[in-house]
Chains A and B, each alone.
Chain A
Amino acid sequence: QKEVEQDPGPLSVPEGAIVSLNCTYSNSAFQYFMWYRQYSRKGPELLMYTYSSGNKEDGRFTAQVDKSSKYISLFIRDSQPSDSATYLCAMSVDTGNQFYFGTGTSLTVIP
């Protein structure tokens, strides 16, 4: 079983839609949860991070962590064509520890 599971998609939505991206994980020691956005042929860029359980909102993006279910989500409201990218979830136990990545979900927002 992989440490982190993520549906690779692809996911295609119309502009303005709400997008829900999800990951599940098996290691209960994970404490830090990150979402990265990766454009084609580019390195990942950090979108949001959450420590332990709970919600975090930043503009159109909301990250949720449910440690009891080992499930994390990223919601994108009012999606834009510029949001078209691959979204990777990542998790770590602590500072200086390896990040465990999901496979990424490919998202296309259609104008």
Chain B
Amino acid sequence: GAVVSQHPSWVICKSGTSVKIECRSLDFQATTMFWYRQFPKQSLMLMATSNEGSKATYEQGVEKDKFLINHASLTLSTLTVTSAHPEDSSFYICSAEPVLAGAYEQYFGPGTRLTVT
């Protein structure tokens, strides 16, 4: 149980285009979903926290107009990278916290590798 999927797993796009990444909790409902990015040989850096039905909370330094997050249901959150540039190339990982979860319970998706050319 507690499976989180991400789609796509890998995407290449041209500079200036937008890319949408989906994060789904497959067998549980998630009140809160988190979006992280990870550069090579670096740790996960939290980008934003999203709660179902409300606006996402962005970490300092993350442009909310560039990284649009929609948490439309208890099983789906999407991250849209708008007007992508090469510096946005990274590994994006989502995690989901089940309803009534313990503090340690965040289940991670497999990640989406974005390459902007």
CB within 8 Å of B: which residues of A?
A: 6, 8, 31-32, 34, 36, 41-46, 49, 51, 88, 92, 94-99, 101-104, 106
Contacts and interface: CB of A to CB of B under 8 A. Distances in A.
B15 to A, nearest CB: 23
A82 B113 CA distance: 24
B44 interface: yes
B113 A41 contact: yes
A99 B43 contact: no
A43 B91 CA distance: 10
8 contacts: A43-B110, A46-B104, A88-B44, A92-B103, A94-B103, A98-B49, A99-B46, A106-B41
The 5 closest A-B pairs by CB, nearest first: A49-B104, A43-B108, A95-B103, A103-B43, A32-B103
A8 B103 contact: no
How many chain B residues sit at the interface, stated as a range, is 20 to 34
A74 B95 CA distance: 23
B69 to A, nearest CB: 15
Nearest to B4: A43
Interface string B31-53: 11010000001111010010000
A6 B42 CA distance: 11
Contacts of A44: 44, 93, 108
